[in-house]
Amino acid sequence: MSVATKLRTAFGLARSGVTLRSFFQLALRRKVGRIDLRNGLTIEGPSEEPLFIIFKEVWINHCYVDKGFDVSRAKVVVDIGAHVGMFALWVAANNPNARVICLEPTQQTCEFLQSNIVANRFSNIVFLQAACGGKHGEAILYSREAEKWGNSLLSNDNRGNQFRPIGAVPVLTLADVFEQFNVTTCNLLKLDCEGSEYQILLNAPAETLAAIERIALEYHLEMGGSTITELEDLLREVGFNVRRIPHAPLRGYLHAHR
């Protein structure tokens, strides 16, 4: 990491509102299981997972917030692949009136998600331990050993890597999620679901897509069975303006808005 990058990270940490103790822990890139903010907010997660990296991407770099999105005006945000709630907590902290709906399939991670919601007293965040996919039912969740925080409904990637099965999880389609939580308008749909983003959106009914104002997702080029171009074409066909932001050779962020 260059000196300039370190300085930007340090400035971002200070601006994010972390406590002095968390600032030095994160600035030194220690593995941490807890991040404390000066406003009293606490975020906990498995100590073996990169809580610092996730915090930096969401709270400092604002990877899921595109130009024109004002979180203070959002009424409904749907978070698919919520992990420990890093993005959901950011939304709720900046807009206590927003309704935030989270799906997270991994049991341990979902336990941290629930704990973070309760500990921070966010009554506007609801969650469901389930995966989102292209077809309703039940499926096997797989562990990507190289990325322990990146469990997936996919059993392999395009490079021949096979993933270890963890167990069966319930799977809801995006239409199921909207129906179950009575979502008629989704101001922002955020997805970070390790390759399932393609099947979720490509199989979503037209009326479900029509209910979405903005989409922010992390795309994965190495897995998913479809191409990012197919996804972009679909979104443009249904009226979205689409912008792709690469941040690694095989992945990046896609922002779409009407």
> Which whole number is the average pLDDT over 165-184?
97
Whether 19 shows a pLDDT value over 60: the answer reads yes
Q: For residues 53 and 73, which has the higher predicted lDDT (pLDDT)?
A: 73
CATH superfamily of 66-257: Vaccinia Virus protein VP39 (3.40.50.150)
**Tens digit of each residue's pLDDT (9 = 90 or more) over 222-231:** 888 889 999 9
In whole angstroms, what is the distance from residue 195 CA to residue 154 CA?
7
Q: For residues 26 and 221, which has the higher predicted lDDT (pLDDT)?
A: 221
**Tens digit of each residue's pLDDT (9 = 90 or more) over 57-103:** 999 899 999 888 999 999 999 999 999 999 999 999 999 999 999 99
Q: Predicted confidence band at 240 (pLDDT cuts at 50, 70, 90)?
A: very high
Segments making up each domain of the chain, as ranges: 1-61, 66-257
Question: pLDDT at position 3, please?
Answer: 56
Whether 173 shows a pLDDT value over 90: the answer reads yes
Is residue 87 within 8 Å of 55, Cβ to Cβ?
Answer: no
Q: Is 138 exposed, middle or buried, given 0-12, 13-18 or 19+ CB atoms closer than 10 A?
A: exposed
Q: For residues 251 and 27, which has the higher predicted lDDT (pLDDT)?
A: 251
**Tens digit of each residue's pLDDT (9 = 90 or more) over 105-119:** 999 999 999 999 999
**Residue 169 CB coordination number (10 Å):** 19
